[in-house]
Amino acid sequence: MEPQDTVMDRIKFKVNGIQYSVGSEISSDEMLLDYLRSYLQLRGTKYMCREGGCGACIVTASKCPGGPQVSINSCMVSIGSCEGWDIRTIEALGNKKAGYHPLQKTLADHHGTQCGYCTCGWIMAMHGLLESKKRVTMLEIEQAFGSNVCRCTGYRPILDAFKKFAVDAPKDRIMDIEDLSICKKSGKPCNQTCEDDEWCLVDEEDVQDRLKRIVLRDGKIWYKPRVLLEVFSILLTEGPHSYMLVNGNTAKGAYPIDQYPRLLIDISNLKELKSISYDQNLVVGAGLTLSEFLEVLDAGSKQQYFGYLRKLYDHVSLVAHIPVRNVGTIAGNLMIKHTHNEFPSDIYLLLNTVGAQLSLVDFHGARLTVTMEHFLRVDMTGKVIINVLLPPMSDSHKLYTYKLMPRAQSAHAIVNAGFLYKLHPNTSVVESSRIIYGGLSTKFPRAVATEQYLVGKNLFSNDTLQGALRVLDGEMIVEANPPEQSVEYRRFIAKALFYKGLLTLCPPKVVAKRYQSGTDKIHDSRPVSDGKQTFTTDPTMWPLNQPIVKVEAAIQCSGEAQYTDDIPSIHNEVFGAFVLSTVAKGTIAKIDPSAALNLPGVLAFYTAKDIPGLNSFTPADSLLYTSNEEVLCDGNVKYYHQPIGIVVAETQLVADRAARYVRVQYSNITKPVTDVKEAKKDAKRNTMFVSMDATNPGTDVFKTIKGSNTFYGQYHFTMETLACVAKPTEEGIEVHSTTQWLDGVHVMISRALNIPENKIDVHVRRLGGAYGIKISRNIQCAVACSLVVHKMNRPCRFIQPLTTNMRAVGKRLPCSSDFEVAVNHSGQIQKIDLSIYEDNGYKINETLSALGVDVFNNCYDATRFNYKLFDTITDTAKNSWCRSPGTLEAIASIEYVMEQISYELSLDPVAVRLANLDRTKYSDMVEMVELMKTNSEFTKRRSAVDSFNTQNRWKKRGLRWAFSRWSPAGAQRFDVNLSVFHADGSVVITHAGVEMGQGINTKAVQLAAYLLKIPIEKIQIKGNNTIIAPNSFISGGSLTTQSIIIALRRCCDELNARLEPIRTTLTNPTWEALITAAYNANVDLQAHGFVHVGDAQMYNVYGMALCEVEVDILTGEFEVIRVDILQDVGFSVSPEIDVGQVEGAFIMGLGYWTCERLVYSEDGAMVTDRTWDYHVPQARDIPQDFRVYFKKNSYSNEVILGSKGTGEPATCASVVVAFALREAIVQARQDSGIPTTQWFSIDGPYTTEKVCMSAQTNTKDFRFY
């Protein structure tokens, strides 16, 4: 190895056409994301999970001169790996000065943004797709976004916008793909074609002419070798004891890396690892990215004896998502499996199934060829995987693979399996077989006994199948591995996939028609999704009631919209992180922060005793609050991962790492109770909130039904995390918080620091999603951040990582209900005893139970109810506001009762609901049912579903209804100011509401433009703070927009009244002339409006949903085929905004009822605390056909212009998805001999496991004919 000048070595790359370089000033744990945001201040690139699971961080990059721009997760890529890259961020696509890129404009015009925080990641992912694959179909576009999450929109408008650029889009698509090019030389939009050789020229200075060695800021050593020999030279010189070969660095998405080893060797450009050749095998370089591997598989599948590679291609397409596949490599994936044998690697499984081998070489030059199973036993120290040898296969080989995931895309396998059978020519007799599994146990990677059993037998006979299943069941080892699914489910799936594979490989003429449905991979057959939004609008009222583009949409699509942590770096700033408890119940005996304080860059450590004032982040004297919640634990731990201290460091990465180094000793440790089903049995844990007695019980009792239902929590999954940026000022402290409640932050910082409120200024411009978590939970980190500023007199950022949010912060209140209901022959309730237990977590504070009291009966006759509502305590984080708190649980609980009545009496579910409808109060529902039946083509579809279920054994459909009546609770206290500038008549509005994607600002602009009779372009909404909007109430509960409407109307009315005398002196004046005249006449051009608790508006929001699903009974996977929602929004001020609210609310609810599973360990720790194991719906999980209709002729009252709340009600109707899935399960159970009248409980979300196991399928029913 030649001597190196370590001072001069730099990693060079371009960002948006500008050359940059990095060297010893960076640390090993700094990713490209950190460099873009913190060094270059390009904060249009966002973040949330920092593990490649959300898509907010996506940028594009050309990794070599002339290469295409491809999407990558900037949070995963080490900045040192960017040598020679040409990186492009959202700032390079377009902005208001240079003009917007067609992708940005189209997404904005199609209402594809709400909070906007995820938007830049979506656009860059789409940009990468179009740059790397010029001609894409609508289906390919929909399949391309396993990388991206949007919690707000429900995905439909985003997909509609991007599908405009597909080659098979309708002819009115917006722009040809060719028009979307970005100039490879300038990095700017361009529609000209350059000669390839112009771009492919490489400057001499860009050619790496020697090995690079950089000692990083944290002492790690980064190497950039040119050839493989240099890798071995490095290991011989430095020693192979602490090193990591770096390529995509995507392993940290599966297994987080707390500390990188001493040596980091970047092997991403080694040509020896990227070769492709044929001998008798297809020899593939192990350093190929998975995207490159897909290209090899696609091309290779066209070669003789390698047709089977098409099946590998299909399976590899399910590995991670495009940005990860663009940098993650074959060898990298295999090394994760090697290090963590339990990892269900799809690459390993596929290669093992087909009998591939690996070529290895060590740093002494010795070469070794190993099987996949041998590879796991090889000590890989000092060794490199050179290539993969894929064998040829004749037509007598039959291959089948499967990956079962908790959602349609971008999740690791619950179980994956590969089956390869070699048959005697022209027969079905087995010569040999390979049966490989992942996700079961490290002790059972291969079903050897089953393979041997099959030899010499007819593969496609019922006797062989049942015999093999018995052998497989006998040899199979499945081990518990929380939070992975249960042993019982994975054991069943292993057998079901074996059967499914044989059904698929079996000649169709052998398989009975009814069993052929078992051959389908249910997500593979999903078509391009579609949707319809039906509403009326009155042009005479415009701009009120006009479907306009959201006023912030363009700047959200360009990255110009600033969020809290987008504030540029502040000189001398520090960073804070919480230290979390490692027991659920106990007493802190000792805290030792010395190990943390000894880490380079760590500055301070604080505990509760360092808080000068009140140790609380909730105002106990405020409406809806009754007690204080600790900022930092006072010594008695209330729940696992409770914050107990604050570490302060020079960077966020160091602070987060140091927090894990603080050592805490505990005493008096006791076992926690984390399940509301258990807690409700303990009278000491339950406090009655309300009790109501039936006032008109009936006597016509035909049957009495008992039941119990439990719903669990839901993480809000805001794309913007909980964050605070604070700095000292001449008055005191300036605080920028991700908050829905400015006054709450203001008050609690004042109380904690013992300083007057007039010395604290709290600001918020917008939120990147909230859904309730930022009402009070954010105040904890705001107080902590302000404490650091107060103590150190330095600016501080306090950015909570996703894991801290999921572990330490409360979620949607779990709920358990018990009931006993007496009904007549028609299912009409005569009397019902209903008890609901709301899980508050460790403390009763926010009185969220109150929000559900008004809708405990939904739309049914309340006079028949004996109703009790309890607040229950568990040993978990204090649960909090989450979209439709209280109301969702109440409405779902009674809807479940209606379903059970329907099943046990074999009655039509709509008839049962109508029999119990309170027609004197809620008669609107009767008309809505008939309209829904017509719009949804219900009668025809009901018949089709019944026919489908009769004809198919292994796929079933369900078609079910849900009713909901939602009502607002209370009112808010907000200030609104409207100011007109005399020189040009432009208008500024400030209001105390917090814009978080619900469209307050857009509706405010429409209202003011309508009332003042001016163009909407004249109006600007400014940011919010406690100076212009003091003492403001919570923004939430679907109330904020209507409150702002009330106060803004008062502003406009006041201003119009002042202007009227001036107007009468002029002849038809323009707005500008009127304002000039008023100014000259000394008219006050600023108006103030105030809304308060006396402005509560009472109305009902009616809704109903019809959902059709299709379920794979063998796996529990399902597709939502169609959803129809008939929603009451009143008179819509902005119809497209309201459509987005309805769709987004429903899809968030769909996740709650299906895939969002929270798991606690026995000691009380939240173990589903990352995107790796907490799965929200993605673009391929939404209904294939999603239709929203607005109820016609609905009007609340004149005060709020007939409008109604839209942000929460549709969440309540989303329980319909669970009901449709239940119907499909019931049909499968009937085929197993279980009567449809037999009720069964499914607690929590209808995961693939719950769906599959509830069907109670017996493997003895597995057959071909």
Annotated binding site: 49, 54, 57, 75, 115, 118, 150, 152, 403, 740, 883, 1037
Backbone angles phi, psi at 955, to 5 degrees: -130, 135
Query: 576 with 780: CB under 8 angstroms?
Result: no
Asked if 466 and 1262 touch (Cβ cutoff 8 Å), the reply is yes
Residue where the block lists tokens 């005249």 = 1077
Residue 611 amino acid letter: I
Annotated binding site for Mo-molybdopterin: 740, 883, 1037
Helix (H, G, I), strand (E, B) or coil at 229: helix
Task: Quote the CA–CA distance of 70 and 59 in Å, as a whole number.
Answer: 8
**Which residue type, as a one-letter code, is found at position 100?**
Y
Side-chain-side CA neighbours of 262 within 13 Å: the count stands at 7
What's the gap between Cα 475 and its chain centre? 38
Identify whether the C-beta of residue 1020 lies closer than 8 Å to the C-beta of residue 980. Answer: no
Residue whose pair of structure tokens reads 């209330």 in the numeric block: 638
Bridge partners (DSSP) of residue 1166 are 1160
CB neighbour list of residue 298: distance below 8 Å, 6 or more residues apart: 309, 310, 313
Buried b (16+ CB within 10 A) or exposed e, 648-674: bbebbbbbbbbbebbebeeeeeeebbb
**Contacts of residue 906, Cβ cutoff 8 Å, sequence gap at least 6:** 1236, 1237
How far from 78 is each of 19, 22, 252, 374, 906, CA to CA, in Å?
Answer: 18, 11, 11, 31, 60
CA distances from 953 to 268, 1045, 1230 (A): 49, 55, 10
Amino acid at 296: V
Q: Position of tokens 């022209």?
A: 426
**Catalytic site residue from 230, 451, 1117, 1208:** 1208
Structure tokens at 451: 């393979």
Binding residues for FAD, as ranges, are: 403
Query: For residue 981, what is the DSSP state?
Result: -
What is the spatial distance between Cα 224 and Cα 1169, in angstroms, rounded to a whole number? 35
Contact 1094, 1157 (CB under 8 A): no
Per-position DSSP letters for 608-645, written without gaps between them: GGG-SS---SS-TTSTT--S---SS--SEE-STT-EEE
Is 342 considered catalytic here?
no
Instruction: Pick the closest to residue 1238 from 1218, 1211, 1256 (CA basis).
Output: 1256
Q: Got the DSSP string for 500-542?
A: HHHHHHS-TTTS-GGGGGGG--TTTT----EEEEE----GGGT
User: Taking Cα atoms as reference points, which of 1151, 1158, 1156, 1145 lies closest to residue 676?
Assistant: 1158
Check residue 769 and give left, alpha or beta (phi > 0: left; psi -120 to 50: alpha): left
**Run of H or E including 60:** strand 58-62
Give exposure, 964-981, as e/b (b: 16+ Cβ within 10 Å).
Answer: bbbbbbebbbbbbbbbbe
Give backbone dihedrals phi and psi of 722, rounded to 5 degrees, phi first. Answer: -75, 125
Cβ burial, residue 181 (10 Å; 0-12/13-18/19+): middle
Q: Which residues are annotated as a binding site for [2Fe-2S] cluster?
A: 49, 54, 57, 75, 115, 118, 150, 152
Q: Which residue has the tokens 């209900």?
A: 817
Rounded Cα distance, 109 and 107, in Å:
6
**Using alpha carbons only, how large is the chain's radius of gyration in Å?**
31
SS3 782: helix
Catalytic residues: 1208
